Structure 1
Amino acid sequence: MGCGFPYTCRLETRKIVLLIGLILVSVLVIQHFELPYGNSLLSLLSTGKSVLIFYDTNGEDNGDSGLKENFMPESALEMYHNATIETIGKHIGLAPESAIDTLESVSDISPSVTYREESDALRNPRNVVSPPESVTLQSYSPLSSTLKVNETNNFQGSQNSAMNSSPPQKEMPEKAIASVLSISEMYEMLLHSRVSSFSKRPVWSSSADQELFDARFQIENTSIIRDHPGLYGPIYRNLSTFVRSYELMEQKLKIYVYRDGKRPVFHQPRLKGIYASEGWFMKLLEASNRYITTNPGEAHLFYLPFSSQLLVDYIYVPDSHSFHEIIQYLKNYLDTIKGRYSFWNRTNGEDHFLVACHDWAPAETKKHMANCIRALCNADTKESFQFGKDVSLPETYVHSPQNPSKEFEGNSPSRRKFLAFFAGQMHGYVRPVLLKHWENKDPDMKIFGRMKKASYIQHMRNSKYCICAKGYEVNSPRVVEAIIHGCVPVIISDNFVPPFFEILKWDSFAVFVFEKDIPDLKNILLSIPEKRYVVMQQRVNQVKKHFLWHNSPVKYDIFHMILHSLWYNRVFRLPPL
């Protein structure tokens, strides 16, 4: 139809434009409240770090800001599920039908195994004593030949140095995560990181980058396998992906280890005690002929070989309640690395990694080493742990450096006479609550304070479930101890990312109970059918091989699993070609 008068035409056009504008505004407003992320435009467009995606950047600072309480509403989850199933499957190496099974499985976990909490986790300050005052720092440079220590004290270092150090005052983030994440929600975050969060492109390319791209293509397009010698499929998120990735790691992975840095903080691992994981990894990697290269041009990863435990012993100023000296010490080291070599500058540290087990490691490294792949025992979603980049490092209490993983055979399920067991010191706020509700309250619930080692082991061998309650931080060596003794771990540690999370299907062999549910702990455990418990216990025995140290590393042991997680995260963090 024509228009008789130009003015009338212009008027009608304006009405149409106005109507379209109102519709667009309405759509954006609806998306803001329906999408699972705080800012709808950021949700749709962001390809940066996951912190931009998972935090509400527009909310008022009223104490409840941060991650939205409903992390992924049902309507948004359905859209996310349908729209990204093919992409997610491709990026984690799943066929479409397998990807569907995987996504459905994380939202269909038995309520007897995983429980969700909507309230804030408590945060209590740590209360520990100072290290020996006789340690004196004569030199502050991280690169001189050695550290000098007061000769009046033959300081060998306590194997429990974390418990002998007065903690710095932690800075609270401006916007903390408001709710506690379930295991299924953590896995959704991991999946999302695989398709949305990548490293920046290197300043210049290398042959090692191309090898990583080729490896990712092979992992993504690997053939499906149903079983593999020595590996039990149900304990893995995707057996086919893991097997192919591990094979490629063995064939290709090359690591350059910086020789800079002074002892004992650098290159002098401590092989005994609660934080020995970082020391054993350092020892075995530096002795490796298979994975170490002296040619940085062919390296896929660069290792920063320092001990987070020895930083506390030698650099931390007693009673200072500050990380400042440790952070400055690491900065001085990095400044030297950047000045002497070009490797850090090529990727801004994104192909560098550290392995640190001390409780304070996240705070010590998050400022100047945030771009690195950080393998951390204290893998806490509230302490800057990044899914898809960082690695959850198993905390293993090594009693004997000569025999780092003495394996104790536990009893069969029918001979385990106790329902649940816990014993330990009263560190943090969770354990006192556990004892308040269950110590000497029920003959099936063996909940104690400190206990002698021999009795401790016997109780683990004779219990169906071993309670792994957090101390000052989310990590605890009890998780690995329970597995070694064939006891199903019951992890009571809100927002703890369990070790090798990107590979192992933890809900298939462990129980996760939120801290607020401690009063109902027995009912939760009894709600798990006996048949289900037997299956979980058998899977604990199958996963045990991944948590054992050996003087000479063996296939699929803890050393190789740490290496694989570092390799795997580097491969899938590379930006698409």
Structure 2
Amino acid sequence: MGHEVQYILESKRLVWLVAVVFAVVIMFQYFEFPYGDAASSIFSVHRAQPTLSRTNQTETSYGIPKSSANITIFDVSNHTRPVDTLDKGNNVGIENIILSNDSTASPPPSSSASLTPPTTVNNTVVSPSVALNNSTPKPEVNVTNLDPSFKKPATSENKNNPPISAGESSVKALPPVKAVHERPVGDIVTISDMHEILEHNRALVRSMKPLWSSMVDQELLAAKLQIENAPVNNNDRALYPPLYRNVSRFKRSYELMEKTLKVYVYKEGEKPIFHQPQAVLSGIYASEGWFMKHMKESKHFVTNNPKLAHLFYIPFSSRMLEEKLYVTGSGSRDNLVQHLKDYIHLIAGRYDSWNRTGGSDHFLVACHDWATDETRKSMDTCIRALCNSDVGREHFELGKDVSLPETYVRSPQNPLRELGGKPPSQRSTLAFFAGQMHGDVRPILLQHWENKDPDMKIFSKLPKSKGNRNYINYMKSSKYCICAKGYEVNSPRVVEAIFHECVPVIISDNFVPPFFEILNWESFAVFVQEKDIPNLKNILLAISNRRYLVMQQRVRKVQQHFLWHVKPVKYDIFHMILHSIWYNRVFRVDPAS
């Protein structure tokens, strides 16, 4: 009997010992694994992404999984609101008429319902399950195509590393990064949905935890804390509060960017694909050229010491990549993708910067339609400023990637030529569009409205005129300028409309408008779903003249954020692009770093 009691006691001690050891292991794993999820780290190579839960809202999870996802469909109805409800401003003048539901503290609760008739209701949100890929393969490197005169720079980061010979890779095994999210093809993402996705990603998605800590990580965390706790500030005369999702946060973030941000610009890469902005200073891809020009010339933001950099700029032109390497008629862009892949492994072999964060503090600025797909494999961890900001099909990740304004610059010597338009009282045309029949939306637009209504000036092509005067004059004298997508969601007409003080009407499902993290687009633009093109005139007429005057005045005020200057000025398009990149970097920094 005594032996049995002793056996039972010893068994209990053994069970308690095992339990204590297991608890210690779980706690250790919790603090050591980058996701803080010990169970999934131990028992599975994949980690299920947590979903967003809100009362009467949709659970969403988006990004770039490596395998297909199951789809669950939910219905979320947008809410309509009166278009004529106004608040009194503090000063006299139409610029002080503010809609009562405008908010400077948070995004509006619904999508474009306020700008469409009360009969229009949008419903569909889709949430896929997410598959994760936690490892990055180590591909071959071909540095000779990128920099034949390869010479190892003598920096403190790589001074102990042996030089690379052609065809040899010295790239360290790139650290795993957290997976991103994806929307299924064909689903319509409304502006309201985009706000939800952005907030979801802000709350749950982080950059990879750096392999080793750095002073810049603490500076980013400090900046994030100050932005989140920004004091209410509506007194800056240069910033009109209704234009912003939160003007106080934007102002504080912009101030911290000016005070803190340092960018390292890689020297590697051959012209004209790299380091030649002059080749892309005009035309519809001018944004990438002008940004590269101003970034490389900046003495305020650029640092020559990678250890001091909060961001690393990959200075390539997607337009020149296509022009120099694409074989016409081949139907293949594999060599373009490979060229960028080789470049990434070139810089990863020379610098520790990429390896420290898995590229999450690197960024690129690219306006060609192909850039989204070309950069998806080798640069998907980077912050990508892209004109083709399609959150539905093109793996554009809200909260990480930045919607780049597509700007049509006609005169590199004077990018502000033809700025402005007629006052509202002299804008006799209700709506205007002219353009080539790219994609499937524009033919539908013309089918319903070309030569059908004198108020709707909808054309395929206008007669040729010197300096494109006919097109510009229509922009300057129309109340609403139709910005219909082409082959892709982006169009230079969005910025052209703002440039000529015409209220933009965006017909492009799943298009993330520029500076979406900052601007309250619904306060100065109209969003119409592609399926509602037959009802376009009724939608515009449902907007009262009083509401139109408010929106047109706001277009004039937001214009400063969409202008290129020969020398950058505060709050202009160069600084706004850089700010959106900075802002996304700050809000993705891992608190555990």
Give the alignment's TM-score, normalised by structure 2: 0.74
AA paired with 1:249? Answer: M
Q: Secondary structure at the match of 1:43?
A: coil
What corresponds to 1:68 in structure 2? 73
Per-residue deviation at 1:60?
A: 9.4
1:40 to 1:216, Cα distance in 2 relative to 1, 3 A: closer
Residues 66 and 320 of structure 1: CA distance in aligned 2, closer, same or farther (over 3 Å): farther
Instruction: Confirm or deny: 8 A CA contact 1:357 1:377 kept in the other structure.
Output: yes
3-state SS, counterpart of residue 353 of structure 1: strand
2:340 to 326, 330, 338: 330
Residue 404 of structure 2 corresponds to 393
Is 1:143 matched up with 2:147? yes
C-alpha distance in 2, partners of 1:175/1:186? Answer: 11
| C-alpha contact (below 8 Å) 1:354/1:374 kept by paired residues | yes
User: For 2:49 and 2:340, how far apart are their aligned partners in 1?
Assistant: 37
Deviations 1:1-33 (Å, cap 9, x if unpaired)? xxxxxxxxxxxxxxxxxxxxxxxxxxxxxxxxx
Whole-angstrom CA distance in 1 between matches of 2:561 and 2:504: 15
Query: More displaced, 320-329 or 278-287?
Result: 320-329
Q: Secondary structure at the match of 1:110?
A: helix
- Contact 1:408 / 1:485 at 8 angstroms: preserved in 2? yes
The reply on whether 1:517 has 2:532 as its aligned counterpart is yes
Corresponding position of 1:468 = 483
Specify which structure has the higher proportion of helix. Answer: 1
Is the 1:55–1:66 Cα contact (8 Å) retained in structure 2?
A: no
CA 1:144–1:396 in structure 2 vs 1: closer, same or farther (change >3 Å)? farther
* Deviation for aligned residue 1:291: 0.4
Equivalent residue in structure 1 for 2:202, among 184, 191, 194? 194
SS at match of 1:374: strand
SS in 2 for 1:210: helix
Aligned-partner residue type, residue 400 of structure 2: K
Q: Equivalents in 2 of 1:565, 1:475: separation in Å? A: 18
The equivalent residue for 1:423 is 434
1:396 alignment partner AA: T
Q: Which amino acid aligns with 1:309?
A: R
Q: 309, 312, 319: which one pairs with 2:319?
A: 309
- Out of 261, 269, 273, the position equivalent to 2:269 is 261
1:443 matched to 2:451: no
TM-score in terms of structure 1 length: 0.76
Deviations, residues 155-184 of structure 1 (Å, cap 9, x unaligned): xxxxxxxxxxxxxxxxxx997244211111
Q: CA deviation at 1:225?
A: 1.3
Q: What residue number does 2:227 align with?
A: 219
TM-aligned CA deviation for residue 405 of structure 1: 2.7
Once residues 403 and 268 of structure 1 are traced to their aligned partners in structure 2, the CA distance between those partners, rounded to angstroms, is 19
Q: Cα distance 1:60–1:208, how it changes in 2: closer, same or farther (>3 A)?
A: closer
| Counterpart residue number, 1:360 | 370
- With over 3 angstroms needed to count, the CA separation of the structure-2 counterparts of 1:560 and 1:473, relative to structure 1, is same
For residues 105 and 342 of structure 2, what CA distance do their matches in structure 1 show? Answer: 48
Give the equivalent residue in structure 1 for 2:379: 369
Cα distance in 2, alignment partners of residues 260 and 412 from structure 1: 49
Partner of 1:26: none
Query: Following TM superposition, by how much is the alpha carbon of 1:229 offset from its aligned partner in structure 2, in angstroms?
Result: 1.9
CA contact (8 A) 1:145 1:262 kept: no
Check the 8 A contact 1:226/1:233 in 2, yes or no. yes
Q: 1:387 to 1:429 in 2, by over 3 A?
A: same
> Offset at 1:404?
1.8
- CA gap of 1:358–1:207, structure 2 versus 1, over 3 A, is same
Written as runs of structure 1 = structure 2, the 5 A alignment for 1:84-103 is 102=106
| Offset of residue 70 of structure 1 | 2.6
The question of 1:413 aligning with 2:424 is answered yes
- Mark the CA change 1:71 to 1:208 in structure 2 (over 3 Å): closer, same or farther: farther
Taking structure 1 as reference, are residues 108 and 552 closer, same or farther at Cα in structure 2, changes over 3 Å only? closer
What amino acid sits opposite 1:450 in the alignment? K
The Cα of 1:409 is off from its aligned counterpart by 2.2
Contact map agreement 2:407 2:492 (CA 8 A) in 1:
yes
Counterpart residue identity of residue 377, structure 1: C
Partner of 1:16: none
SS of residue matched to 1:68: strand
C-alpha displacement at 1:322, in angstroms?
A: 1.6
Q: Rate the CA distance shift 1:184–1:225 in 2: closer, same or farther, 3 A.
A: same
For 1:350-384, what per-residue CA distance to the aligned partner results, in whole angstroms no more than 9, with x for missing partners? 00000000000010000010000000000001200
Amino acid across the alignment from 1:543: V
Equivalent of 2:193 in 181, 185, 200: 185
Residue 118 of structure 1 contacts residue 179 of structure 1 at CA under 8 Å; is this kept in 2? Answer: no
Contact 1:281 1:559 in 2 (8 A): yes
Shift of 1:227: 2.8
CA contact (8 A) 2:406 2:491 kept: yes
Q: Percent identity?
A: 57
State whether structure 2 residue 352 is matched by structure 1 residue 345: no
Deviation at 1:567, TM superposition (A): 0.5
CA deviation after TM superposition for structure 1 residue 202, in Å: 0.4
State the Cα deviation string for residues 70-122 of structure 1 (Å, max 9, x = none): 36999xxxxxxxxxxxxxxxxxxxxxxx99962554469415179665689xx
Task: Give the letter aligned to residue 587 of structure 2.
Answer: F
Task: State the one-letter code of the partner of 1:536.
Answer: M
Q: Distance in 1 between matches of 2:577 and 2:112?
A: 29
- 1:34 corresponding residue in structure 2: none
CA-CA distance at 1:54 after TM superposition: 3.6
**Distance (whole Å) between structure 1 residues aligned to residue 245 and residue 425 of structure 2:** 29
How many residues are paired up? 465
Tell me which amino acid in the other structure corresponds to 2:311: L
* 1:553 and 2:547 correspond: no
Q: 1:387 to 1:196 in 2, by over 3 A?
A: same
2:493 corresponding residue in structure 1: 478
CA distance in 1, matches of 2:371, 2:331: 15
Q: Call closer, same or farther: CA 1:497–1:289 in 2, change over 3 Å.
A: same
Q: Does structure 2 conserve the Cα–Cα contact (< 8 Å) formed by 1:395 and 1:477? A: yes
RMSD: 3.0
Q: Identify which of 532, 553, 556 aligns with 1:538.
A: 553
Does the aligned pair in 2 maintain the 1:116–1:180 contact within 8 Å?
no
For 1:331 and 1:195, locate their aligned partners in 2 and report how far apart those are by CA, in whole Å: 31
CA distance in structure 1 between the aligned counterparts of 2:350 and 2:418, rounded to whole angstroms:
44
Give the Cα–Cα distance (whole angstroms) in 2 for the partners of residues 465 and 503 of structure 1: 23
Match of 1:207 in 2: 215
Deviation, 1:266, is 0.3
What SS does the corresponding residue of 2:430 show, helix, strand or coil? strand
Structure 1 position 450, deviation (Å): 1.6
Q: CA deviation at 1:68?
A: 2.8
Letter in 2 for 1:471: G
Q: CA deviation at 1:142?
A: 2.1
Aligned residue for 2:75, secondary structure, equals coil
Cα contact 1:67–1:179 (8 A) shared by 2: no
State how far apart, in whole Å, the 1-side matches of 2:103 and 2:474 are: 40
Report the counterpart of residue 469 of structure 2 in structure 1: 454
Contact 2:261 2:301 in 1 (8 A): yes
Asked if the contact 1:419/1:465 (under 8 Å) is kept, the reply is yes
Aligned partner of 1:110: which letter? Answer: S
Q: Specify the code of the residue in structure 2 equivalent to 1:219.
A: I
Q: Separation in 2 of the partners of 1:198 and 1:427?
A: 37
Residue from 232, 242, 257 that aligns with 1:234: 242
Q: In the alignment, residue 375 of structure 2 is paired with which amino acid?
A: T
CA distance, structure 2, for counterparts of residue 99 and residue 338 of structure 1? 44
The amino acid across from 1:359 in the alignment is: D
> Is residue 117–residue 181 contact of structure 1 (8 Å, CA) maintained in 2?
no
Partner of 2:584: 569
Shift of 1:226: 2.2
Quickly say closer, same or farther: Cα 1:41–1:576, change in 2 above 3 A: closer
What are structure 2's unaligned runs of at least 5 residues?
1-46, 54-58, 80-101, 126-142, 151-180
1:369 aligned partner, one-letter code: M
Residue pair 1:55, 1:68 contacting (<8 A) in 2 also? no
Letter in 2 for 1:245: S
